[in-house]
């Protein structure tokens, strides 16, 4: 994906003017398809509590360490929570699949053919140092972000120029028409201070522990690199009374405390040092909360159903390396994974297995391809496995006993089809043994990977695992220096341009991207473009389902598991509105402190 610096520079220097059509309609918000649900002038989001009390502190656990306060570089270990200091042009709704309303921008418009989008900024918008947020800052933010990080370079790859019509008026030009999502994702652009980042010696591509001006509701307060970081609520936040902010940002202080591993972090929760925990361990949820604080109702437990796709969590294999570039090898690795035994013996039966890259949503493929899906898939018939045209490729299912000899026989047959044979007790081909190293950053995964490795060894595969520190792990993933890792592909209810970063050939060799698998597949590339340029919700659904079928049929991952609900634990004194937003846990931005911590502290 090309860098946009030269294009942006020339456009700004020449100050090219584009006449906006007289029929242009300025809107208070956008939706991917149709109009947003809330009308202009709405008082507040329906899930926000407008009179939520302000004040107090909430403390959250973070794992590992940090040495960087710049979230827009692939370098270093970035501190948790930095998204709170950056405001965006639009504010996304938590109740609508893909709708946003004005934040820094009071209004937005776009061409009928989506060849440009225009944002009118609020004159009152300010950075935390008191300087106004202008169109110059917006143009700079786009340029700097696309230069600094491969995700933004891909996400905004169709934006080819900016036109500043005034201090609070900016227009973006696109190199393609029909990309309906571009105005919305430009609304997600974090706005940075041009004056600060253009100062001598500063680069958005570098790590830093300096504190930049914030455009959001919080600024960086006390911090001890590697140990803790606090965010302070901006007392006179310029957007505090906007409808998109009412009921939000209620804590005065949000503090992240770093721990060496999750076991210590959990003990900190039980001791009251940490106030809130999103529980990912089924074992801890089932056995770890038998404490006096829970029995007394001081430490609360809550399960929450969130109406959104679970995406895909999986073992992924680096297809840039042999033998993981072989579809038979990848399929065999799935046959060797015994989810049912794992769920029964390690997870207390709390999980279901991922069967789709859009798990749990209407975007997931099911049954035979529909007419709309076939319209997209038939032109690709010579490029995709024949299995794409049947039921979606499903995971193997065992009886949970631990005896998976039938599954291992299928795995062995697939491996033999690709020329792998047992030689001297090892699976080999042309004198080379099949070896796999799983690198892990969370020790908790050791007990999960170990039984899988034993099954792989029964096939003659020399498999091993190694837990490494977060910095080394991040560097190896960033540079695709691994055989196998655990990875998650999150999905929204309206996937779009970010899918290029997940799956496209252009992203496969770009360090720091999210195509960690290394997929280079013409059919996948074309389906991603079909998805991005969908003209209706129905077309988007068909494109997602078609893409899902192709990804599953290529066996790019060994799917793991998901929970049908979220598990939360938090101390008395924290509260939230009921019901929560449809597709978001809303923590910490819509929660508040309704009383002191049981220790007696207001914090």
What pLDDT score does 600 carry?
Answer: 59
Q: Give the pLDDT confidence of 55-103 residue by residue, as tens digits.
A: 999 999 999 899 999 999 989 999 999 999 999 999 999 988 789 999 9
Supply the DSSP string of 234-266, one letter for each residue: -TT-TTTTSTTTTT----SEEEEEEESSHHHHH
* Number of C-beta neighbours around residue 43 at 10 A: 10
> What confidence tier does 214 reach under pLDDT thresholds 50, 70, 90?
very high
What pLDDT score does 597 carry?
Answer: 82
C-alpha dihedral sign at 376, 380, 384, 388: positive
DSSP state of 519: -
Look at residue 582 and tell me whether its pLDDT is greater than 90. no
The total number of residues written for the chain in this structure: 603
Strand 435-440 with 462-467, pairing: parallel
**In angstroms, rounded to a whole number, what is the distance separating the alpha carbons of residues 57 and 218?**
13
Which two tokens mark 552?
């599953």
Mean pLDDT, rounded, for 322-332: 98
178: alpha, beta or left? (left if phi > 0; alpha if psi -120 to 50) = left
Mean pLDDT, rounded, for 220-238: 94
What pLDDT score does 9 carry?
Answer: 35
- Tell me the three state secondary structure of residue 152: helix
- Phi/psi for 9 (5° steps) reads -60, -45
Q: Give the pLDDT confidence of 499-551 residue by residue, as tens digits.
A: 999 999 999 999 988 999 999 999 999 999 999 999 899 999 999 999 999 99
Q: Give the pLDDT confidence of 104-146 residue by residue, as tens digits.
A: 999 999 999 999 999 999 999 999 999 999 999 999 999 999 9
Supply the angle between the helices 522-532 and 537-553 in degrees, to the nearest 10: 160
Q: How far apart are the first and last CA of the chain?
A: 47
CA dihedral of residues 153, 155, 161, 164 (deg, nearest 10): -110
Does the domain at residues 5-41+83-197 carry the CATH identifier 3.30.420.130? Answer: no
What pLDDT score does 17 carry?
Answer: 38
Look at residue 4 and tell me whether its pLDDT is greater than 60. no
Look at residue 161 and tell me whether its pLDDT is greater than 70. yes
**In angstroms, rounded to a whole number, what is the distance separating the alpha carbons of residues 346 and 340?**
10
Fold category of 312-562 in CATH: Dipeptide-binding Protein; domain 3 (3.10.105)
Mean pLDDT, rounded, for 166-194: 96
The share of the chain scoring above pLDDT 70, in percent, equals 95
Mean pLDDT, rounded, for 448-457: 97
Burial class of residue 475 (count of CB atoms within 10 Å of its CB; 0-12, 13-18, 19+) = middle
The mean predicted confidence, pLDDT, of the chain is 92
Which two tokens mark 451?
């039984």
**In angstroms, rounded to a whole number, what is the distance separating the alpha carbons of residues 106 and 57?**
31
Which two tokens mark 186?
């430009």
* Number of C-beta neighbours around residue 556 at 10 A: 23
Sequence ranges of the domains in the chain: 5-41+83-197, 312-562
pTM here is: 0.80
Look at residue 12 and tell me whether its pLDDT is greater than 50. no
What pLDDT score does 603 carry?
Answer: 62
What pLDDT score does 602 carry?
Answer: 54
> What confidence tier does 22 reach under pLDDT thresholds 50, 70, 90?
very low
Which two tokens mark 190?
């974090």
**In angstroms, rounded to a whole number, what is the distance separating the alpha carbons of residues 603 and 593?**
8
The share of the chain scoring above pLDDT 90, in percent, equals 81
Give the up-direction half-sphere exposure of residue 238: CA atoms within 13 A in the CB hemisphere: 22
DSSP state of 115: S
Which two tokens mark 548?
């899902």
Look at residue 20 and tell me whether its pLDDT is greater than 50. no
What pLDDT score does 395 carry?
Answer: 97
The helices-and-strands tally (H runs, E runs) of the chain is 17, 26
**In angstroms, rounded to a whole number, what is the distance separating the alpha carbons of residues 212 and 69?**
9
Q: Give the pLDDT confidence of 395-440 residue by residue, as tens digits.
A: 999 999 999 999 999 999 999 999 999 998 899 999 999 999 999 9
What pLDDT score does 583 carry?
Answer: 66
> What confidence tier does 8 reach under pLDDT thresholds 50, 70, 90?
very low
Query: CB–CB of 37/235 below 8 Å?
Result: no
* Number of C-beta neighbours around residue 382 at 10 A: 7
- More confident position, 481 or 19: 481
Which residues lie below 8 Å from residue 37, measured CB to CB, with a gap of 6+? Answer: 31, 93, 95, 96, 99
Distances (CA, A) of 431 to 319, 333, 372, 420: 21, 20, 47, 10
Strand partners, 440: 467
Rg (the chain; Cα; Å):
25
């Amino acid at each position: 994906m090309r860098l946009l610096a030269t294009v942006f520079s020339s456009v700004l220097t020449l100050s090219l003017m584009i006449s906006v059509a007289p029929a242009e309609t300025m809107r208070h918000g956008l939706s991917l398809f149709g109009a947003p649900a809330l009308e202009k002038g709405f008082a507040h989001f329906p899930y926000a509590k407008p009179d939520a009390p302000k004040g107090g502190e909430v403390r959250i656990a973070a794992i590992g360490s940090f040495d960087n306060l710049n979230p827009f570089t692939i370098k270093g270990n970035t501190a948790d929570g930095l998204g709170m200091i950056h405001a965006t042009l639009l504010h996304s709704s938590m109740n609508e699949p893909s709708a946003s309303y004005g934040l820094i921008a009071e209004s937005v418009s776009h061409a009928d053919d989506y060849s440009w989008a225009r944002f009118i900024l609020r004159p009152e918008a300010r950075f935390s140092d008191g300087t106004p947020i202008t169109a110059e800052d917006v143009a700079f933010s786009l340029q700097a972000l696309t230069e600094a990080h491969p995700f933004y370079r891909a996400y905004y790859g169709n934006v080819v120029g900016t036109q500043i019509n005034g201090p609070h008026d900016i227009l973006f030009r696109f190199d393609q028409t029909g990309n309906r999502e571009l105005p919305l994702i430009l609304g997600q652009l974090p706005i940075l201070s041009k004056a600060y980042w253009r100062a001598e010696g500063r680069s958005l591509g570098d790590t830093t522990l300096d504190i930049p001006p914030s455009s959001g509701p919080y600024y960086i307060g006390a911090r001890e690199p590697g140990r803790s970081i606090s965010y302070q609520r901006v007392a006179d936040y310029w957007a505090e009374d906007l409808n998109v902010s009412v009921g939000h940002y209620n804590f005065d202080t949000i503090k992240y405390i770093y721990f060496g591993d999750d076991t210590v972090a959990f003990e900190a929760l039980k001791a009251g040092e940490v106030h809130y925990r999103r529980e990912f361990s089924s074992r801890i949820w089932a056995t770890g909360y038998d404490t006096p604080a829970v029995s007394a109702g001081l430490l609360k437990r809550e399960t929450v159903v969130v109406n959104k796709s679970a995406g895909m969590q999986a073992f992924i294999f680096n297809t840039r390396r042999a033998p993981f570039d072989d579809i038979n090898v990848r399929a065999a690795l799935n046959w060797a994974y015994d989810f049912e035994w794992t769920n029964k013996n390690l997870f207390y039966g709390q999980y279901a297995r991922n069967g789709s890259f859009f798990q749990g949503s209407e975007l997931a493929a099911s049954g035979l391809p529909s007419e709309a899906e076939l319209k997209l898939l038939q032109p690709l018939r010579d490029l995709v496995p024949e299995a794409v045209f049947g039921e979606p490729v499903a995971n193997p299912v065992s009886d949970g006993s631990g005896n998976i000899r039938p599954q291992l026989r299928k795995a062995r047959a697939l491996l033999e089809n690709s020329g792998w044979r047992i030689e001297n007790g090892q699976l080999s081909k042309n004198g080379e043994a099949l070896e796999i190293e799983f690198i892990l950053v969370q020790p908790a995964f050791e007990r999960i990977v170990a039984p899988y490795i034993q099954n792989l060894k029964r096939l003659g595969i020399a498999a091993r695992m190694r837990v490494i520190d977060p910095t080394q792990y991040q560097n190896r993933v960033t540079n695709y220096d691994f055989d196998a890792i655990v990875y998650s592909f999150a999905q929204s209810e309206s996937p779009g341009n970010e899918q290029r970063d997940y799956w496209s050939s252009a992203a496969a060799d770009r360090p720091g991207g999210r195509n960690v698998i290394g997929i280079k597949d013409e059919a996948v590339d074309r389906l991603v473009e079909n998805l991005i340029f969908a003209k209706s919700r129905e077309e988007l659904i068909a494109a997602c389902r078609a893409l899902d079928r192709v990804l599953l049929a290529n066996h790019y991952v060994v799917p793991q598991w998901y929970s049908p609900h979220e598990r939360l634990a938090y101390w008395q004194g924290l509260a939230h509105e009921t019901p929560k937003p449809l597709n978001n846990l809303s923590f910490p931005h819509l929660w508040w402190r309704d009383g002191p911590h049981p220790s007696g502290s207001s914090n």
